[in-house]
Chain A
Amino acid sequence: MSERRTSGGAPPDGRGNDGASRTLSAVARHRRLNRVWHNPSGLRGASAVNHTVVGKRFMATALFFFFVGGVLAMLIRAQLATPDHSLFGHELYNQFFTMHGTVMMFLFAIPFIEGLAMYLLPKMLGSRDLAYPRLSSFGYWCYLFGGLMLLASLLAGVAPDSGWFFYTPLSSKHYTPGINADFWLLGVTFVEISAICAAVEFVVSILTVRTAGMSLSRMPLFAWYILVTAFMMLFGFPPLILGSILLELERAFDWPFFDAARGGDPILWQHLFWLFGHPEVYIIFLPGAAIVSTLVPVFAGRPIVGYTLTVASVISIGFISFGLWVHHMYTVGIPHLALVFFSAASMLVAVPTAVQFFVWIATLWQGRPRLELPMLYLFGFLVVFVFGGLTGVMVALVPFDWQVHDTHFVVAHMHYVLVGGLVFPMLAGIYYWFPLVAGRRTFPGLGAIAFWLIFIGFNVTFLIMHFTGLMGMPRRIYAYPTGLGWDVPNLVSSIGGFVMSMGLLLVLIDLVLSWSAGRPSRRDPWNAGTLEWALPTPPPFYNFASQPAVSDRNPLWLDSSLPARIAAGQGCLPGDNAVQQETLGVEMISGRPNKLVVLPRPSWLPLWSGMAMAGFFLLVLAKLYWLASIGLAAALCVFLRWGWENGARRDPGDMRDGLPPHHVADDAPGPLGVIFTLVADATFFASLLFGYAYVWLIAPGPTPPSLAEPNLAALLAAGALGAAWAAVILGERALVATRQVNFDLFMLASAGAGIGAVAATAAAFPHMPSPTSHAYAAVVAMLIAYVIFHVVVGVVLSAFAFARRRSGFVSVYRRIDVRVCRIWWIYTAATGLVTLTAVFAVPGVVPA
C-alpha cells in the first residue's frame, strides 16, 4: 500500500499543486485519474467497490424490491376489493401482507436511502469516495443475499406469515412450526448487517472525509440529515437484531425468552421490536426530508432559511423518536403514567418536524419559487406527510389509539407517513438527480402525468381507508362479510391502488426511455449550489479532478466558475501525478485537511465475505449448525485477509511538505469505524441487559431460579479481562517506546489472558440449569455467550496485531492495528465486568 506521502507534493492544507503538474490539460488529467480509478466491467464488475457503482447497485436493487412489494400490495387490494372475495386463501394472504411490509421496510426503504446516500455524499462533500468502499460493497452483498433469501421463501410458498412486526407467540414455534418464520428472522438479520455497515460508513465519512474548508457549519443539510439517520441506525437496529436472535434461539433450541409459562414474556419481543420499529419510521423520513431540504432552496432560488434551526430540529427528532416506542403498545396493559410519558413524547416529536415545515415554507416565501417537475412531487410530499403527521398526533393520544388500534385507520396513517415521508421525496429526488446520474433529462410531461396518477391514486386508496378503519375493519383479515359498510370503501381503495400503480409504472417507463433517448443534460440544469453539480454528467469514478476548497454552503452560487477550475486542477489533490486512489481527510469540526485517505482498488473480498455470511445464514436456516460454524470461520478468514491488505510495511518519509497518509494519522478512519461499530454493539448489549432485567424483575410466571453464587472462578474471569485490557495498553506503550519485543510479549499476554477469561467464565457457572428450563437461565446463557464471543474476537485481534508487527505492518508510527485492538479490549473488558456484576452481584442485593 501507500508509502507515498502525498500526491503531487501538496502543501500542508492539501491545496494547490506544483508548477509542473499544472501543465497537464484537463483532458490529460481526466485520463490519468480515470486510469487510476478505473473500475472493471462485465462479470469482473462485481469486484467494484467505488461509491458510484455500489450506490447505483443499492438503488437499482431497492427499486426492484419496491416493484415486488408493489405487486404484493396489488394482490392484497385485489383480494379486499369485494366482500367474501377469495382469490387466495388465508395462508397465502398472510404471506403476502407479511412480505409486503417486510419488503417495503427492509428491502426497499432503508436500502434505497443507503444507496442514495452512498452515491451522493462524496459528491456533495467534495470528496472522491467514502471512507470504507469495501465495507459498502460488503453491505451490498449482505443486502442482496438476504433479500434473495426472503424472496426465495415467497417463491417457494413458505414465506413468513406472522405480520411484519412478527409478534410472539404467533411467531413462536408452537403457532408457526414451519420454516416460514426462520426465513424472516435470519433474512432480516442478514440484511440488517448491511444497514449497520452503511451507518458506520456514513458517520465516519461525513465526519472525516470531506473537502478542504467544509466545516460542520458549511456542510450541506443533506449530510446533516444522513449523519443523524446513520446514528439512529446504529442505536435503532441492534434491538431488532437481538430480538431476532433471541426468537430464533427460542424456535431452534427452545430457549424460552418469550414463553410466559417458563418465565419469559411475549411483551419483551414487542419492546425490542418497537425500540427499533418506531425510530425506523424516522430513519425513513429523515432522508426524505433531506431531499426536501436540498431541493427547496434550489427551486426557491435562495439559501435555506434557518440552517442551524434545521440542524437542531433534525437532531431533536433523532433523539425524541427513540422515546415513542411504547406508543405501539398502548393496549398491552401498561400503567397510565407510563402511557402518558410515551404519549407526551409522541406529541412532542411533532414540534421539530413542524419546525422543518416552517423552514421550507419560509424558504419558499422568501425566494422566487419555480414549479419544475421535482417541485411538483415535493408539493405531493407536503400535503401527504402533513396529513400523516396529523393522524400521527391523533394516534399518539391514548384513548383514541385504543379505539383504532389494529384497524385500517392505522394502516392508512402509516402509509401517509411512509409514502409521504419517503416515496414522494424519493421521486422528487430521482427526477432532480437523474440528469446527474444519467447525463440526460427526463420527459417532463410524462413525469407530471405520473405524479397526478400517483397523488390521486394514493389519496383515493388511503384517505378513505381511515374511514374504513373508523368503521371498525381490522387490519390483516383476508376476507370480510358484506353488510358491515366496508364494501364500497374497500372497492374505492382498491381502484385507487391500481391508479397509483399505473403512475409508478409510468415513472419507470419515463426513466427507462430517458436513460436511452432523453435529451442530453447540461451540467447543473437546475442552477443548484451544492458541489455534486460541479461534476460532469454522468460523473467520472474519481468525482473531482481536483478537490475544491470551499468557503460557503452553496459553493456553486458563490463561484460559477468552480467547475472549470476544478477540471483545470486548481483545487486540492489535482491528481496530475496520481498513482493510487486517494482523497482528502479533514479535521471533524473545522474541515481543515490533515491526512490523505488512501482508498482500495476493486476487490473480490467483499463478495467472498458476503458469500461466506450467506453460507452461514443458509446453513443455520437448514439447521446444519456445525456446518454453519464452518461458514462463520470462512467469513472470519476472509475478514482477516481483508485486514491484512490494509496499511503499509514502511513508515512514510519526510512529511514536512505534505499530508500524511491515513495509516500514520492519529485520527485515521479505521479506529473511528471500530468505535462506531462498538456503539451499535453497546446498544445490542444494553438491549440484552434490558432483557435480563425484564425477565428477572418484570416478566410474569415462575420465579427465576438462583443461578450463580459469587465464586472464585468469577473473580478470576474478571481479573483475566482486566489483565487482557492492561496488557494491550502496556503493549502500545512498549511500541511507542520502540521496545518491540516487549510489545510482542504483551500482545501474547493479552491473548493468553483472554483464553483464561473464557475458561474462568465457563467455570463460574458450575450448577447452571439448562437454558430451556427458564427464561432467566436462557438470558444469562446469552450474556455469557456475548462475553465469550467478544473475548474470542479480542484474542484473534491480539494475535493479529502480533503477526502484523512481526510482518512489518506495525511500527511506532503505524499503530492502527494496535489501536483497534486496544479499543476492542477496553470494550470487551468493560462489558464483561458489567455482565459478571449483573449476574453475580446484583441478584444478591435486589431480590427478584
Chain B
Amino acid sequence: MSHARPLRTIALTAVGLIIWSICFVVLYAALSLGCAAGLHEWSLFGVRALNVILGCLWLVHFGLLGSAFLVLWRTQRQAQAASERFLVRLTCMLIVVGSAATLWVGFPVLLLPACA
C-alpha cells in the first residue's frame, strides 16, 4: 500500500476542523479585502452588503460540515477493526468541535458592522 490512502484517512479525521480553519481564513480575508474595496458602504435591502456576503460564506461552511457528517455516517459501517472504529469516533468528535467552533467564531457577522 502506498502512503496515499492511510495518509488521506488520517488527514480526513480532522475534516471538521479543516473546514473551520477554511471558514476562519475565508471570513477574515473577505472582511479585509471587502473593507479595502469599500464594500461596506454598499447595502442590499437595507442590510450592509459585506455583512450579507460574510453571512453567506459562513453558511456555506455549515453546508460543508453537514456534508462531511453525512459522508462519515455512510462510511462508518464499513469500519471493522478497532483502529478504524477509533478513527470514526475521533472524526465524529472533531466534526462536532468544528461545527461548534464555526458557529461561535462566525455568528458576529450577523451582529456587527463589518469595517467599523
A337 within 8 Å of B by Cβ?
A: yes
Residues of A within 8 A of B106 (CB): 341
A589 touches B113 (CB 8 A): no
Contact: B104 with A344, CB < 8 Å? yes
Chain B, interface size: which category? 35 or more
Chain A binding surface SS class: helix
Is B46's CB within 8 Å of the partner chain A?
A: no
Structural contact, A590 and B3, CB atoms closer than 8 A: no
Cα of A620 to Cα of B40 in the assembled complex, Å: 47
* Interface membership of A400, Cβ < 8 A: no
**Contacting pair B24 A667 (CB below 8 A):** no
Closest to A309 in B: B93
> Which of these, B1, B33, B86, B90, contacts A697 with CB under 8 Å?
B33
Whether the Cβ atoms of A315 and B14 lie closer than 8 Å is: yes
CB interface residues, B 79-115, toward A, < 8 Å: 81-87, 89-90, 93-94, 97, 101, 104-106, 108-109, 112-115
Q: Known contacts A337-B115, A589-B6; is A216 also within 8 Å of B94 by CB?
A: no
Distance A675 CA – B113 CA, assembled complex (angstroms): 42
Kindly state whether residue B28 has any CB partner on chain A within 8 Å. yes
Q: List, in ascending order, chain A residues with CB within 8 A of B89's CB.
A: 308
What's the nearest-Cβ distance from chain B to residue A694, in Å?
9
* Cβ-based interface call for B10 (8 A): yes
Chain B residue at minimal CB-CB distance from A335:
B115
Cross-chain contact of A335 among B13, B31, B90 (Cβ < 8 A): B31
Contact in complex: A341, B105 (CB < 8 Å)? yes
Asked if A316 meets B86 with Cβ closer than 8 Å, knowing A588-B6, A588-B10, the reply is: no
Q: With the chains together, A309 CA to B97 CA distance in Å?
A: 11
Contact A337 B36, beta carbon cutoff 8 Å: no
Q: How near does chain A come to B9, taking the closest CB pair, in angstroms?
A: 6
- Chain B nearest CB: distance from A812 CB in Å? 16
The answer to whether A587 and B116 touch (CB under 8 A), given A215-B82, A319-B20, A323-B105, is: no
Whether A338 sits at the interface, judged by CB under 8 Å, is: yes
The docked-state distance in angstroms from the alpha carbon of A496 to that of B43 is 58
Q: 1/0 per position for A406-449, CB-CB distance to B under 8 A?
A: 00000000000000000000000000000000000000000000
Q: With a 10 A CB-CB cut-off, give which of A207, A316, A352, A590 has the most chain B CB atoms.
A: A316
Bits for A315-344, please: 1 = Cβ < 8 Å to B, else 0.
110011011000000000001111011001
User: Do A348 and B104 touch across chains, with their CB atoms under 8 A apart?
Assistant: yes
With both beta carbons as reference points, the residue of chain A lying nearest to B91 in the complex is identified as A312
* Other-chain residue from A341, A352, A590 in contact with B28 (beta carbon distance below 8 A): A341
Q: Decide: A323 and B97 in contact? CB cutoff 8 A.
A: no
- Check A308–B36 contact: CB distance below 8 A: no
A587 touches B1 (CB 8 A): yes
Q: Judging by beta carbons under 8 Å apart, are A217 and B83 in contact?
A: yes
Output the least CB separation between B74 and chain A (Å).
19
Which residues of B in the span 53-74 have a Cβ within 8 Å of any Cβ on A?
A: none
Which residue of chain A has the shortest Cβ distance to B33 in the bound complex? A697
C-alpha gap A316/B85 in the complex (Å): 19
**Contact residues in B for A590 (Cβ distance below 8 Å):** 81, 83
Given contacts A344-B104, A589-B87, are A207 and B24 in contact (CB under 8 A)?
no
What residues of A have a CB within 8 angstroms of the CB of B35 in the complex? 335
Contact B2 A666 (CB under 8 A): yes
Least Cβ–Cβ distance between B29 and chain A, in angstroms = 8
Question: A316 touches which one: B28, B81, B97 (CB < 8 A)?
Answer: B97
Task: List the B side residues contacting A632 at CB < 8 Å.
Answer: none
Q: Which of B90, B105, B116 contacts A348 (CB 8 A)?
A: B105
A322 to B18, CA, bound (A): 11
In the complex the two chains form, is A345's CB within 8 Å of B86's CB? Answer: no
A698: CB under 8 A from chain B? yes
Contact indicator B17/A337 (Cβ below 8 Å): no
Question: Does A311 belong to the interface (CB within 8 Å)?
Answer: yes
Q: Is the CB–CB distance between A589 and B83 below 8 Å?
A: yes
Shortest Cβ distance from residue B58 to the other chain A in the assembled complex, whole angstroms:
11
Inter-chain contact B7/A322, CB cutoff 8 Å: no
* A578-602 interface code vs B (CB 8 A; 1 in, 0 out): 0000000001111100100000000
Residues of B within 8 A of A667 (CB): 1-3, 6
Of A217, A308, A337, A697, the contact of B114 (CB 8 Å cutoff)? A337
A672 CB–B CB distance under 8 Å: yes
| A319:B83 contact, CB within 8 angstroms | no
Q: Are B104 and A337 in contact (CB under 8 A)?
A: no
Are A316 and B31 in contact, with the CB atoms below 8 A? no
Question: In whole angstroms, how far apart are the Cα atoms of A335 and B108 in the complex?
Answer: 13
Chain A 207-222 interface 0/1 with B at a Cβ cutoff of 8 Å (1 = within): 1000000011110000
Top 7 A-B residue pairs of the complex, sorted by shortest distance between their CB atoms: A217-B86, A215-B83, A319-B17, A588-B6, A312-B93, A340-B108, A344-B105
Residues of B in contact with A (beta carbons under 8 Å apart): 1-3, 6-7, 9-10, 13-14, 17-18, 20-21, 24, 27-28, 31-33, 35-36, 81-87, 89-90, 93-94, 97, 101, 104-106, 108-109, 112-116
Residues of A participating in the B interface, judged by any CB pair closer than 8 Å: 207, 215-218, 308-309, 311-312, 315-316, 319-320, 322-323, 335-338, 340-341, 344-345, 348, 352, 587-591, 594, 666-667, 671-672, 675, 697-698
19 inter-chain pairs at a CB distance below 8 angstroms, sorted by A residue, are: A217-B85, A217-B86, A308-B93, A312-B93, A319-B21, A323-B21, A337-B114, A337-B115, A340-B108, A341-B27, A345-B101, A348-B101, A348-B105, A587-B6, A590-B81, A590-B83, A666-B3, A667-B1, A667-B6
